[in-house]
Amino acid sequence: MTASGSTIDGIDHAAPKNFRILVLGAIGVVYGDIGTSPIYAFREALHASSRSSDGTSTEVLGLLSLIVWALTIVVAIKYVGFVLKADNKGEGGTLSLMTLAMNSLPSRPVWVLVLGIVGASLFLGDAIITPAISVLSAVEGLEVVAPQFADWVVAITVCIIVALFFVQRFGTGRVASVFGPITALWFLALGVSGLGHIIDAPQVLVALDPSYGIRFLIDHAHISIAVLGAVFLAVTGAEALYVDLGHFGRRPIVFAWFVLVFPCLLLNYFGQGAFVLTHLGHVEHPFFEMQPDWARLPMVILATMATVIASQAVISGAFSLMSQAMHLNLLPRFHVHHTSDTQAGQIFMPQVNFLLLVSVILLVIGFKSSSALSAAYGIAITGEMLVTTVLLLVVMRQIWRWRVIAALAVVVPLFIIDAGFFAANVVKFPQGGWVPAVVAILVAFVMQTWISGRKLLSDRTKGEDVPLEFLLNNLTKKKHNTVPGTAVFLTSEVAGAPKALLHSLKHYKVLHEHNVILSVVTSSSPVVPNEEKIHFESYNPLFSRAIVTFGYMEEPNIPRALILARKLGWKFDIMSTSFFLSRRTIKPSVKGGMPLWQDRVFIALARNASSATEYFQLPTGRVVELGIQVTI
């Protein structure tokens, strides 16, 4: 599946078998996170309400009503109903939405870029908590089945997490093919286990009336913030629907939600509520305790498998988001391994994978329980949801051409709900909410440093630029020695002469028979069609100009792109072509545009970025690098 919207539609309608596979994959990857929330969401809501609740059925029904309507409004209406439609040619996620919104505004305001950076940073803050709390909550089920294993919960969790991150190298597609059937079985188990208890206490269905939830918040105003913070756990994972849009397409995600995921989640939450109603005052872990004795151990095993899968949603989402940020020049280049020949969005980033693994393990060891980790959960997700809501308003007005009143009628209620959940989670900052906030701040700082450093670098080198037209005119007037073959000089400046060309003339004093000045441009579209990918023109018999445009979700392969130039008259032969690049050695400056310490951070980022040779997939045996020194 490519990132093209038309391609996605074509797959959905023209290939029913492939559509079924995509639905199964979406169940396994996209809904893994939200599918494991029943393990701990209702439990934490009960614990939060126990501070002053008298444990009556009214309180239980109020909590259940809040959870049901949170799922309905936040996930079914906001994300499935509206946000998934705001795709950038098939791709989703905060940065895709930011790009879509920015391109729709003539002035391309900075505040949209800032919102995109904040949203992306918050998602990465969430990406380290989801695997930790999900797997830990499932393994804690052993405490109900076999209390003697209580001391081994953390160790078992760490082993499972290490295995999860190890299999990432095999790719989302292969993982999804295994995880999809397991997660489908998990959702069916959720629905069946809940349905049995609903039959025993059908009065629990009155919680469909939202007045129960509203009355609970009014009657328990002094603990309503804490309760809302716990209720929000039921919708964590909603953002993964949008982030992973490019992996599976909108229709499979929507189909899976309404046909399987949403009904089974509702059945399980109602089942837990029914179980608590019949066991008031005696329930600590409603999800595991409501299972029959014979089913508890199998349910713990299935829950553990499901929570491993839940982590996959944010991990694959983190890879997609980091790749987008890299191509949009918000982050330095990381190593990217494409794990599928047909699915462009399925990638593996070893450096990011390792950083996530270390962070998750530290969280598990540091917090030791899912209840403790629940305090750290929420701030990042609610913050990102607020960002999504604001950008959605821009898309509604500028792209969908909604009237102001209609757009506000949808967005304002959603914003109020998101703001309420955000406020409810902010109060958990001292208990652990600082963790995703610190991660998000660090990621945003790295992005800001990279953007500012690149701008300073560009400003410093512009003063030394030689206009390309001036250089070509001079070279035409003088006769130079030529050698056989083609030289391709890479430059980020379209108007200036490549530094590699200037240094080559300075040191070698020769020209190739054919010289191509090549610039690579990243489009605001996720994918650029082949017929639009390359612009080629000839200045004179010696020099030509090529501009290659890649989408921000594409694999930037220059040799493959240059083959397209054959249709434009250039007989490209990789074996007679040399690629010339300039490698910059950056030095910090006390009088630079950034503080000296931030200069050093930027230099460290630049040094650890993957090389242009690797990033553009140039044949190493055909690359010549010429070094220059720049002070920022």
CA distances, 340 to each of 189, 348, 405, 555 (Å): 31, 10, 44, 12
Name the domain boundary from 395, 428, 452.
452
Average pLDDT, stretch 318-333? 85
The reported pLDDT for the residue numbered 627 is 73
Establish if 318 belongs to a structural domain. yes
Question: Residue 241 has what pLDDT?
Answer: 85
| Structure-model confidence comparison of residues 244 and 113, the more confident one | 113
Model confidence at 9, pLDDT cuts 50, 70, 90, reads: very low
Please report whether residue 158 resides in a domain: yes
Question: Mean pLDDT, to the nearest integer, of 489-505?
Answer: 82
Cα angle 39, 43, 44 (rounded to 5 degrees) comes to: 110
Q: Can you give the pLDDT at residue 12?
A: 39
The H-or-E segment that residue 628 falls in is strand 623-631
Rg, Å, the chain Cα set: 27
Same domain, 412 and 503: no
- In the chain, how many domains are there? 2
Identify whether the C-beta of residue 46 lies closer than 8 Å to the C-beta of residue 36: no
Label each residue of 164-224 as H, E or C.
Answer: HHHHHHHCHHHHHHHHHHHHHHHHHHHHHHHHHHHHHCHHHHHHHCCHHHHHHHHHCHHHH
- Using an 8 Å Cβ cutoff, are 335 and 58 in contact? no
Per-residue pLDDT at 2 = 32
Of 13-22, 70-79, 113-122, where does mean pLDDT reach its minimum? 13-22
Residue 182 has pLDDT above 60, yes or no: yes
Note the pLDDT tens digit of each residue in 403-435: 999 999 999 999 999 999 999 988 888 888 888
Residues 271 and 344 in one domain: yes
What confidence score (pLDDT) does residue 3 get?
33
Res 252 pLDDT > 90: yes
Q: Across residues 122-147, what is the average pLDDT?
A: 85
In the chain, count H helices and then E strands.
Answer: 30, 8
- Residue 108 sits in a domain of what CATH number? 1.20.1740.10
Whether 154 and 272 map to the same domain: the answer is yes
Residue 521 lies in a domain: yes
> Do 472 and 434 share a structural domain?
no
Question: Does one domain contain both 549 and 624?
Answer: yes
Q: Which of 452, 481, 509 is the last residue of a domain?
A: 452
Instruction: Examine the domain organization and report whether 194 and 337 are in the same domain.
Output: yes
* Tens digits of residue pLDDT in 605-628: 888 887 888 888 899 888 988 777
| Lowest pLDDT segment from 203-212, 213-222, 576-585 | 576-585
**Cα 76 to Cα 234: distance, rounded to the nearest angstrom:** 13
* Host domain of residue 611: 464-631
The answer to whether residues 350 and 485 belong to one domain is no
- Measured CA to CA, the distance from residue 287 to residue 41 in angstroms comes to 10
Question: Is the same domain home to 429 and 472?
Answer: no
Q: Which of 297-311, 460-474, 584-598 has the lowest mean pLDDT?
A: 460-474
Residue 40: strand, helix, or coil: coil
Q: Which pLDDT value is given to residue 13? A: 39
Domain for residue 458, yes or no? Answer: no
For residue 95, being part of any structural domain is answered with yes
What stretches of 463-576 adopt beta strand conformation (E)? 481-490, 510-523, 534-538, 543-551
**142: in domain:** yes
Give domain status of residue 457, yes or no. no
pLDDT at 175: 59
pLDDT tens digits, residue range 31-72?
Answer: 888 998 999 899 989 888 875 444 578 889 999 999 999 999
List, edge to edge, every strand of the sheet that includes 577-587.
534-538, 543-551, 510-523, 481-490, 577-587, 623-631
* pLDDT tens for each residue of 136-181: 888 888 887 878 778 888 999 999 999 888 888 776 555 556 778 8
How distant, in Å, are the alpha carbons of 57, 90, 220, 262 from that of 345? Answer: 48, 11, 46, 26
CA angle in degrees (0–180, nearest 5) for 454-455-456: 90
Q: Which residues lie below 8 Å from residue 398, measured CB to CB, with a gap of 6+?
A: 101, 104, 105
Distance of alpha carbon 430 from alpha carbon 19, whole angstroms: 45
In a domain, residue 459? The reply is no
Shared domain check, 154 and 77: yes
Residues 305-334 as b or e (16 or more Cβ within 10 Å = b): bbbbbbbbbbbbbbbbbbbbbbbbebbbbb
Residues 439 and 474 in one domain: no
Tokens of 272: 């837990």
CA atoms within 13 A on the CB side of 388: 33
Domain boundary pick from 431, 452, 473? 452
Predicted pLDDT of residue 379: 86
Q: How far apart are CA 549 and CA 538, in angstroms?
A: 18
Average pLDDT over residues 469-483: 81
| Residue 628: per-residue pLDDT | 74
Q: Which two tokens stand for residue 158?
A: 């760490």
**Residue in the structure block whose two tokens are 């002035």:** 107
Looking at residue 280, the DSSP 8-state letter turns out to be T
Residue 453: is its pLDDT beyond 60?
yes
Q: What is the pLDDT of residue 492?
A: 79
Contact of 6 with 204, CB cutoff 8 Å: no
366 closest CA partner among 163, 157, 164, 166: 157
Query: Do 119 and 220 fall into the same domain?
Result: yes
Both 437 and 482 in one domain: the answer is no
